[in-house]
Structure formats: structure tokens, C-alpha cells
Amino acid sequence: MSVSKFTLPDVGEGLTEAEIVEWKVAPGDTITINQVLVEIETAKSLVELPSPYVGVVGEILVPAGTTVDVGTLIITILSDSDSDTRTDAPAPADASAPTAPPVSAPSASASASASASASASAEQRELAQAAVDTSDTISGESEATAPQVLVGRGSSATMPTRRIRHNAATVAHESMSPPAVAAAPAVAVAPAPPARPVMSAAGVLAKPPIRKLAKDLGVDLSLVTPTGPIGDVTREDVLREATQVSVFRNIQTPEWPIDREERIPVKGVRKAIAQAMVTSAFTAPHVSLFVDVDATRTMEFVKRLKTSTDFAGVKVSPLLIMAKAMIWAVRRNPTVNSTFTDEEIIVRHYVNLGIAAATPRGLIVPNIKEAQDMSLLQLAGALEQLTITARDGKTSPAQMANGTITITNIGVFGMDTGTPILNSGEAGIVALGTIKQKPWVVDGEVRARFVTTIGASFDHRVVDGDVASRFLADVASIIEEPALLLD
């Protein structure tokens, strides 16, 4: 029996410490490779640490709620010396299932008989399983014999495949085939038809992926108004309901707590936010500008995109047009996409577009890398993925590093505008206010138009007033007329 020592690693960005939030294992638990041991909070995000060992949990050395330095020993794992598996080296084929007991080989006749009997029963079990879950993995091997590789490491030669859906005739034919035929290469099978909407017991019509999305976002499908062509709930319906649920949760009025005061330790993400805001506000002299914009054509453009087959299944919102407008305006006014140091001003000729996201853990600013090279469809997908990842608290430190310019969408909270504080190390940030109908003069007549207010702040050490004004005017021109993006 050997003792493996697991120390707190540096999960990225040169972080020096982290808080132990929750242990996922206890002393005496049997663990496998990649099983989550502990959840930690760094100064930027919540991270799950997987195990690089197979064995039994020995001793947990750091209790939950404690902040420790990187490199501190936090847990020991007991394992047999001959079966100790590390992710540094590939696991031997005969050691891929260390917990499975050895099985003696049966005689040839008994094996053939058992194989034929097991083949029929296995096919019947597979048919029943496929009826309820078509996402299980098959490749002629059981899950226990799959290679155990730490997340992000090891060989990727073996890829999982989806379970093939068999009809009754196919099962009957295959169950009567001798073992020798069953072992032959499989004949190509036509792909299964796309998933159709399924009616639940509550009478909600939705496809399985939509149901999974609703579950992940905490949305009750029975409360969603369906807009699909056959009365089914769409992805856009779920996302819209998720936004509304979030807003309503924010305005719920709780009872007064019994305790007169609450003391919240300043650590983790909140400590990092505080330090960044102080550094930004008192280091970079901010200058702020505001402009009212007729966003009617943007709203019409968003409506057309939602009905486009190219954007089917992708969330489209005015934020998408705002993001594209900023990228276009940066190309015309590159100084706003820079950073100031004591020795030089670094102007970036690429855009890592930051999106300020309010999460249960506080404000974070993940960014879309190389956004300047993305099409409108690619940008829409990146924005959606970024939002879901941030809401789930899965944003990694790497996703928040090296941003160049930021959007903060305060309109989702019903705010008209604000004076945003720069993300540290950046020279520009734009706030998109709520878009709502207001009286607006068009060709000498007062009409109801969709109007928004765009606010922006800049580092006045880098960005002069004329550059800031031209940049914001360029952004406003795209919101007023998205067709300019076609130039």
C-alpha cells in the first residue's frame, strides 16, 4: 500500500491561493481517475479538481472554508503499488478496470452456449434501453474497460459513439445469428431520424435537448409559452423564460433576517472584484459619454434573424448587434482597444470582446477570443455559450484573461444607462441600456420608436475626447442602421 499526496495545483493565471469550498469525497471513499475530489474558489472562478489517482481516500488535511496557498498538501490517497495509476502515463490495458475481480475462462462449449444466450438477451436489453436513452456509449466494450484518462490529458484515439437504434426486425434477425456472424464487422446502418418533440405527463411538447436545457437553467417547462411551429417549446422560449425567472428572483422580497447584522468575509471572487475596481477607478482617469439611439431597425433585424434557418437554435438578441457594432467601431478607432503602461501604450489589432456577466458569485468578465474574425452566426453562438457557462459558474480563469474591450448589458435589468468602470487593463467599456418604445421625431413627426441609451467610459490617458466621441458615434450608427455592417 502506497500513499499518494495531492497538493493544491495552480489552476491557471499564476494564482497563488484558493479557498476549499466543498469536499466531494470523504475518508474511506474509493475513488477513480478523473473523479472530482474537491471544489475550490480562486480569485476568478469556481474550479473542480479531479483525481489523478485510483485508490481510497486517506486523510483530508484542509477543511472546507479554509484558504490555502498553491502547493499545500490537501489530501492523501491510499493505493496498491502495482495498481497505482497516474495520468502522466497511459494505463495498461489489463489495468483499465482495477476494481473488477478476475474472471476464470469458461470451457469452449460453455462459452459458445453462453455467448449465444447472452447475445439475444443483450439485444433485448439494448432495445429497451435505446427506447429511453439513445445517448449511451457503445463500442463493443463496457464502461469499465474504457481508458481512464484525466480530463484534458491522455490519448483521444478512442472516441465514443452513439447507440444505434434497432427496430424489432433487426433485433430478431441479429438474435438468431450465430456468434461467428455477430463478431463480423457491422453492416452500415442508416442514421436514426432526428429527435422529435416528446409530450410529457404535464402536456408540454419539447425535444429532449430542449428539456435538458430547461433543467440546466432551472426553468419549469409548464410555465413556458411555446412558439414552435407545432406548439412545441423552442430553445428561444426556454432562454427567454430563464431571463425572466432571473429578473423575478431579483425582485422577490424576503423576510427580515433574525440577525441584525451579517458579516461576509471579503475573499475569492468578491475580493478580486474589489481590488480590480479600486485599481481601475483610482488609476485610470475615466471620461464618460452618452448617446440616445433609435434602435428600431436593430429590433427589426433581430426579428428577421430569429426566423432565419441559418440562426435556428441560436439565441439572437440586440446584444449580438451591439457586439458586432463594437468590433466594427474598434477597427475604425483602434486606440480605444488598447492598454496604458508607464512605458508605452499597447494598441491591440485584435478584439477579445469582454461581456460583463452578473452571476450568483459576483461580477465576472469572460471574453470572446479573436471576435474580430467571427461571422455574425459564430458570434451569436459564442455569446450564448459564454452566457450559459457564466450562469453555471463554470467560467475558467483563461476565459477571463487578456480582454481588450468590454460590453456591460445593463438593459436586462431595465436600466436606461450608467457610468461603467473600466475593466482593469482596458481603455474602453460600453454600457447598453434597455430598449423600449418612446416618442421619437422622424421626418418632422413624433412616432413611437424603439429607443436606447448607450453609455461608455474610456481611459483618458489613452483615449482623447474626439476619439471617444467618434467611436461611440460609430457604435450608435450601427444600432440605428445594421445594414452598415454589410459594407
Mind listing the domains of the chain with CATH numbers? 2-89 (2.40.50.100), 119-182 (no CATH), 198-251 (4.10.320.10), 268-486 (3.30.559.10)
Q: Nearest-CA neighbor of 16 among 44, 37, 39, 48?
A: 44
| 154: confidence class by pLDDT, cuts 50, 70, 90 | very low
- What one-character-per-residue DSSP string does 282-331 give? HHS-EEEEEEEEE-HHHHHHHHHHHH-GGGTTS---HHHHHHHHHHHHHH
In the prediction, which pLDDT does 371 show? 95
Q: Nearest-CA neighbor of 414 among 398, 428, 433?
A: 433
Q: State the average pLDDT for the chain.
A: 76
Q: Is the pLDDT of residue 335 over 50?
A: yes
| 197: confidence class by pLDDT, cuts 50, 70, 90 | low
User: pTM value?
Assistant: 0.56
- Which tens digit of pLDDT belongs to each residue from 341-381? 988 999 999 999 999 988 777 788 999 999 999 999 999 99
- Overall average pLDDT of the 18-32 stretch: 88
- Overall average pLDDT of the 167-180 stretch: 44
∠ Cα 157 158 159 (to 5°): 110
pLDDT greater at residue 307 or residue 161: 307
What residues are labeled active site? 460
